[in-house]
Structures are given as C-alpha cells and as structure tokens.
C-alpha cells in the first residue's frame, strides 16, 4: 500500500496512531529502506519476463470459493461467534516500549511463546502464536463474514469495504502484506492498485498465477490516510489471519514489507533491506521469506544492477525454487 502519511488525519487520529517502525526497530538498526545491495550478473525486465513466462500447470482440486474468489460476502450471511483474540507477549529482547504497549493493548487471551528451533536453512523468529481454539465448521466464508461485521478497533468507522483476502483456499503459498490501500478499500480485494499490478508482473515473471496462491494482509481494513498500522490494530486483527492460515494450511509465506516483517517474523528483526530474501520461521510456525513490498518497488522503477527491483527478482526466483521443491 502507498505510504502517504497523516496530513489528512485529525489531531485525535494522529495522537492515537503509533509509528510502528520507530517503535519496533531496536537501537542501532538501519533505517527502513537504507539498503545493502549486491551487484547482479545480468539485467532483467519484469514485463518481458512476465510475457515470456510459461503457463504453470493448474493445481488439481484447488478451485477458489467464497472469499478466495474475491466476490463480496452476501449481506445476508450470518457471522459466527467471533473468536477471542489471544495476548501476544513479545520476546525478552524486545524494546521496553514495545512490551509495554503490547501488554496494554492486547486482549487477555492473545499469547505467544518462544519459536522452536528452525529447520536447517531457516532463522528462528522471535515469537510464535499459541494455536486458537478449534472452531467447528469454520470456513474462509465465515471468517470473511465476521471480518465484515468486525468492530474491534476504530478502523470500522472509516473503512469502505473490508478486505479479507483472495486466492486459492488451499494454496501452498500465501503472501501477507500490512494493510489495504485506497484501491483495496474500494474493491474489497487485496493488491489491486498500482502496487498490486506490479506484484502481478513479478509473480507472472517467476511463473506464478494469482489463482494458485493466496494474498491477504494483517489488517483487513484500511488505516486512514494509508498510515502505518498500529500495534493494537494488528493484535486484534491477527486472530482472523490465524484462522485463515489454519484453514488454508500453506507451506510457505511471502512476507511483504517492513511492517509485516516486523510483526510476522518478530519486532527485533533487522530492516527489510538487510534481510530480504532470507527465510525465517514466522510466528505462525510457517517458513516465511522477507520480501520488499511492491509499493516500495514502484517508487524507483530502475531495473539496474543492484536496484531493489533486481533484488526482488532474485528473491522471487528463490521463493519459486523452494515452492517447486514442495512437489
């Protein structure tokens, strides 16, 4: 999503918003996009690669239904009882301010525990969520219906449409961003604006089809003015994401952007430019690759050696390689 800041927000909104990046970045870490780059061997062009990419073979028995198709949930649908979010306790190495805010803003049943040892080639994240209680008959349609009725935070007052997610309900790969933008708020579908179109080119160039993966955000509602999500907003929205991932059962996660990375991988993780392309064990217990958000990539259209777009091309190829190895 675009990163225009709070110029249009009221004084009250500005007072309650939290600068998540400043809050979660430990002292001594690099800035948000202060990068370290590696010189490539050759130039590339996403448009040419996308046009030349072979058609992936369709997955069997993986037809999107309900919210996975991007179609709005019927207004007559009756949501089930919302699940009680759990309290997330940040790791001892987190900044004291983060811990104070997390404890103050998180519902009492939202908890995290230390992440178990990561498989070979992965780095452990800093926390892992406790599983939610089983919800008999839970479906992505039910999750989407509850999201549409959700009033757990003030974003319900400013949203146009909720944006639960779209794609294959049994996808092996899920991409997670931070929050919807203006185009997504208008359509109810994630990643449909300029950034989403750029992501489509990257996916096509690597040989992915959007209908074989699932794409969603941590937040299901757009923050006013496209500001960064607050920690409390993400905490109360995470149980929806937990339920989605439990139903989809992905094998891999592509974590898009610094805000999503610092929540899904851990608040003490380095900045995106230092860890992009690396694998981590996420708080959901699923291997996650840290990746640039496409909204950052479209700010600089350069495809030159060492550019963020080139780095993203290396990362998406590495992700596709591991995806193909799933069999």
Q: Is 161 exposed, middle or buried (0-12, 13-18, 19+ CB in 10 A)?
A: middle
Cα distance between the two ends of the chain = 32
Cβ neighbours of residue 183 under 8 Å, at least 6 residues apart? Answer: 192, 193, 196
- The two tokens of residue 8 are 């249009």
**pLDDT(158) > 60:** yes
Burial 150-160 (b: 16+ CB within 10 A, else e): bebbbbeeebe
Give me the pLDDT at residue 44, please: 53
**Mean model confidence pLDDT for the chain:** 75
Contact (Cβ atoms closer than 8 angstroms) between residue 116 and residue 103: no
Q: Is residue 27 part of a domain?
A: yes
* Tens of pLDDT, residues 108-152: 333 333 344 556 667 766 555 667 889 999 999 999 999 999 999
Q: Which domain holds residue 182?
A: 20-324
Q: How far apart are CA 263 and CA 101, in angstroms?
A: 14
Q: Is residue 2 part of a domain?
A: no
Query: Which of 83, 186, 191 has the alpha carbon at shortest distance from 143?
Result: 83
What is the total count of domains within the chain? 1
Over residues 194-207, the mean pLDDT reads 94
Q: Is residue 174 part of a domain?
A: yes
Q: Is residue 90 part of a domain?
A: yes
Cβ neighbours of residue 199 under 8 Å, at least 6 residues apart? Answer: 175, 191, 256, 294
Give me the CATH number covering residue 56: 3.40.470.10
Q: Is residue 120 part of a domain?
A: yes
Query: Which of 135, 143, 129, 132 has the alpha carbon at shortest distance from 244?
Result: 143
Q: Is residue 264 part of a domain?
A: yes
Q: Is residue 8 part of a domain?
A: no
Percent of the chain with pLDDT over 90: 51
Burial 1-14 (b: 16+ CB within 10 A, else e): bebeebeebeeebe
Q: Is residue 6 part of a domain?
A: no
pTM for this one? 0.68
């Amino acid at each position: 999503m675009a990163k225009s800041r709070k110029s249009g927000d009221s004084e009250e909104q500005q007072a309650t918003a939290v600068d998540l990046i400043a809050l979660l970045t430990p002292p001594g870490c690099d800035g948000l996009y202060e990068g370290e780059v590696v010189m490539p061997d050759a130039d590339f062009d996403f448009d040419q690669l996308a046009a030349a990419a072979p058609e992936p073979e369709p997955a069997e028995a993986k037809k999107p239904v309900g919210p996975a198709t991007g179609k709005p949930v019927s207004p007559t649908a009756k949501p089930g009882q919302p699940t009680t979010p759990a309290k997330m306790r940040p790791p001892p190495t987190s900044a004291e301010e983060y811990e104070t805010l997390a404890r103050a803003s998180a519902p009492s049943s939202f908890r995290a525990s230390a992440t178990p040892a990561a498989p070979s080639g992965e780095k452990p994240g800093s926390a892992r969520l406790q599983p939610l209680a089983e919800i008999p008959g839970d479906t992505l349609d039910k999750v989407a219906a509850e999201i549409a009725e959700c009033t757990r935070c003030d974003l319900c007052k400013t949203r146009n449409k909720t944006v639960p997610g779209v794609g294959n309900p049994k996808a092996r790969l899920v991409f997670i961003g931070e929050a919807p933008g203006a185009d997504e708020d208008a359509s109810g579908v994630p990643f449909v604006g300029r950034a989403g179109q750029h992501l489509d080119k990257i996916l096509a160039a690597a040989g992915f089809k959007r209908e074989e993966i699932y794409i969603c955000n941590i937040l299901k509602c757009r923050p006013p003015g496209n500001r960064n999500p607050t920690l409390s907003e993400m905490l109360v929205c995470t149980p929806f994401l937990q339920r989605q991932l439990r139903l989809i059962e992905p094998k891999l996660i592509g974590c898009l952007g610094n805000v999503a990375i610092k929540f899904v991988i851990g608040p003490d993780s380095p900045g995106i430019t230092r860890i992009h392309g690396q694998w981590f064990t996420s708080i959901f217990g699923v291997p996650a690759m840290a990746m640039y958000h496409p909204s950052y990539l479209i700010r600089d259209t350069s495809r030159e050696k060492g550019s963020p777009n080139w780095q993203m091309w290396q990362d998406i190829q590495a992700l596709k390689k591991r995806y193909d190895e799933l069999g």
